[in-house]
Each structure stands twice: as structure tokens, then as C-alpha cells.
Amino acid sequence: MSFSIFHNLVINTSPEDVFHAVSQPKHLDNWWTLKSSGKPEQGTEYNLNFTDQYNWFCKVSKVAPNKSFHLKMTISDEDWNPTTFGFDLEEETGSTLVKFSHINWREANHEFKHSSFCWAILLKGLKDYLEKGTVIPFEDRS
């Protein structure tokens, strides 16, 4: 048995803008990571750095420009290692429906529940980044 996190939200911008914000390091660093690297191409490696203690790696497991972007964790903590998270995008009139998933958690433990809460906050940060241009300094992100 595995456990999954799902969040849907509407962002008032194009799927292209959302895709860039979730797949390009220069944008990831504005709403999620301290510093990141990688290219949105199938099988390529991403480095997601939050601190020296949380310097994680993953690989692109699914990519369709302006439609879908998923990363499979390869080096992270014990709870995150078996997981894959991603964004599926559907164009709506003048906006994008973002279907976020973070799947294959081994157990619905504290880390799983905390991560679900944190993703909700981070996705609100993504929405504010794209709709309002808001960049919260890394040290102020929850």
C-alpha cells in the first residue's frame, strides 16, 4: 500500500507560464528551492537544494511541455526517496488548472502529513508568484 498527496488549484496565467515556473530552476528558486539546477527533459537530473542538510536530487520521470512535469526522487530523506511529485496542467479560459500530485509514500506518517501541508502553502506561493510577481525570500518560506 502507498499513500498520495493531491492538490488542485487554478492559476490565472497560461499553461506555458506555469510549466516554466515548475520546471525551470530560475523560477523554482523564486517560490520553492534555495537554489536548483536541471533541465526539463526526460531522464535528466535535478538538484533541489534547500540547505546543506537538504540537498536533494531527482530525475525527470515525465515531461510534456506546457502540459506535464514530474520528478522522481533519487537522493533525499528516507520518506521522500520512493516518491514522485508532479504537475499536470489543463488550459482553461484565461487560466490553468494545476493538478499536483506527490505519490508513492510508504506510510501516512508525520512527514507525509507535514509535506501535504507544506505543499499547500508552497502551491499558494506558486500562485502568488505567477499572478502577482510575489517572491518570498527563502528564509521566510514555511
- Whichever domain contains 102, its CATH number is 3.30.530.20
In a domain, 41, yes or no: yes
For residue 141, the model assigns a pLDDT of 81
In a domain, 22, yes or no: yes
Rg (CA), the chain: 14
Domain count along the chain: 1
In a domain, 141, yes or no: no
Task: Report pTM.
Answer: 0.96
Please give the Cα distance from 121 to 7 (Å, whole number). Answer: 11
Residue 57 pLDDT grade (very low, low, confident, very high; cuts 50, 70, 90):
very high
For residue 142, the model assigns a pLDDT of 65
Contact 119, 98 (CB under 8 A): no
Domain boundaries, position 43: 3-136
Instruction: Pick the closest to residue 33 from 67, 57, 17 (CA basis).
Output: 57
Query: How confident is the model over 102-124, as a mean pLDDT?
Result: 97
In a domain, 107, yes or no: yes
In a domain, 127, yes or no: yes
pLDDT tens digits, one per residue of 35-46 = 999 999 999 999
